[in-house]
Chains A and B, each alone.
Chain A
Amino acid sequence: MKKIKITTILFYGFAIFYALIALGPFVWSAITSLKPTNEVNQFAVDFSTLSFKNYIFLWNKFPFAKWTMNSILVASIVTCGNLLFNSMAGYALARINFPGKKAILMAILGLMMIPGQVVMVPTFILLTKLGWINSYKGLTIPFLFSLFGIFLMRQFFLSIPKSIEEAATIDGLSRFGIFFRIVLPMAKPAFTTQFILMFNGNWNSFLWPSLIARKETMYTLPVGLNSFYGQYFQFWDQVLAGVMILSIPAIIIFLFFQKNFIQGISTSGMKE
C-alpha cells in the first residue's frame, strides 16, 4: 500500500515538475513584458507597477500592427489553400481510380524525403524573376500545398468506410458533390489536425518569410520580432511583449481546437 503511494507521489511530482518547465518561460516572459523597463532584471514582482504600456508602445510606435495583419492574412490564405488542396488530392489518391495515380503517390513519398532547403536558392531566384519578392503572392502561393498534409489526408480517407460514398453515388451525386457535401463534413478531426499543423507552421515560419519579405512593411510577425530584437535587445520588457504578441494567437487557436486535434492524429494514421 505504501509503495503505491510513493509511486503516485513521484508520478504527480514528475507531471507537475514538467508542467512548470513547460509553462515557466511563458509565465516569466509574460510578467516581464508587463514590467517597467527599470524593473526587468529584478526578480521580485511588484504587481502595482505592471501595465500594458509596452504592448501599446509596440502597437503604435512600431509596425507590430502591420506585421500582425500580414501574419494573419498570410497564415489564413496558406491554411485555407492547404486544407482545400491537400484534402482534394488526398481524397483522389485514396478513393478515385485514375491512370497516373500510382506515379503521383510514389512521387509524393519520394519528394517528402527531400528537405525543403534544397529548393531555397532556385525558389528565391524564381520568385525574384516573377517579381514576387516583397509581395503577398510570394508569401502565400508557393506554400499552398504540403506533401505531408496530402499524405495525412489520404491516410484519413482510407480509414473511413466507403459505403456512404457508394450510397451517394447511386443517388446520382457527382464526385465533387460527394466530396464537398459528404466526405468533407466527415473529415472534421483530420481537418482540425491539418488546420492546427498548417496554421501553426505558417504562423511561426521564419526562414522562408525572411527571404521573401525584405521590406519592413511586408514582414510577418516572426521576421518582425527578430528584426525588433536585433535593434532593441536591451529593452527586454518590450522585446518580450513582442514575443507575447507572436505567441498568444497560436496558443489561443490551439486551446480552441485541441479537442479534435489528438483524435485527428490517431485517425490520420500518423504512426504509419
Chain B
Amino acid sequence: MDEILVLAEHRNGELREITFELLTAANVLGKAHDLAVTGLLLAHEASSLAGRLQGACDTLLFMEDPELAQYSAEHYLAVLQMLLGDRKPVLTMIGHTAEGMDLAPALATRLSLPLVTDCVEISLEGGELAVLRQIYGGKINARLAMKPAESYLLTLRPGTFDAEAQQGKSASVETIAAPSWTDLKGRRFLGYAEAELEDVDISAADILVSVGRGIGKAENIAVAQDFADAIGATVSCSRPVADEEWLPKSRQVGTSGKTVRPKIYIALGISGAYQHQAGMKNADTIIAVNKDPMAPIFNVAHYGIVDDLFKVLPALAEKFAKK
C-alpha cells in the first residue's frame, strides 16, 4: 500500500504536539485515499516515545543513534534522503516549526521534491496535492493546486489539526539502522540556551492587557500600563513589540514566546498573526481593539472594537477611574 510518511518531532525527551497534529491530518488523508500512515522517529535512547506514536500510525520506523539525540539538520537530511529515496511515499509531512522550517526546504531541494509550506488544509484528490495556505499575514487565503508528482513534501501549520484525536491503531515497529553519516557539512548542536530572566510571569496573570505594533512607540507602553493598573491587569505584548525591545521578550505571547490562558485578554493594536493566536486563543474572554476591521485578531476575539486604540484607551480607563 502506498503511504504517507510523518516525521515525529521531539525535544528534551518529549514528543512535540505537532507530531500528533501531523498524524491526525495524515490519518484523515489515509482513510480517504486508502494510504498507510507511517511514522518516523529519529532519536536516541527513546524507545519510551514509541508507544503513543504506535497508536496513531500503521508502521513506525524507528532509528536510534547518538547523533539523533536531538534534531540535527544534516543528520535528518541524510536519513530522509535515504528513506524517501527508497520508499517514495505519496506524501511526506513535517511540522511548520523551527525544526520543519529548517529542514524541509533543503530536503526538497536535495531530492527534487515539490514542497509546499505552512499548510492549513490538505487534500489529495486523484493523488494530486491541493492545499490552503494563509498569506499576507493571514489577510489572504491562497488555495494551491500542485502539479502531478510521484511524491510530495509539505509542512503543516501547528494548531490546525487536533493533537488529541484517537486513531486506535497499533503500529508495528520497524527498526532501521543509521547510515554512516558521510557527507556532513559540520553543523553541530551545542545545547539549549536558557530563557532570559523574567520580570513578570505573564502566564500566571488573570487579566492581560496586550499591546501590538499598533502601540506605535516605546513611550506609548505607559498608556497601556496605566490602563492595566486601573483594572488590575498585567501588560504583555505581541512579537513586534518584543522585537523593538519596547517590552522584554518574557512578556511576549505566541509560539516563540509564552502561551497564556487568562480570564480576560485585551489585545490592543495586535493584528493577530497565527503565531500570536496560538499563544492566546484559549483565553476565556478576548477583547480586541484594532482600527483595521479585517485584522485576523477579530477571528479569535469574542468582542471587537474597530477604532484607534489611543481614542479607546483613555475613554475606557475613565470608566474605571470614575467608579
- Decide whether A and B are members of one complex: no
**Which B residues lie at the A interface, using CB under 8 A?**
none
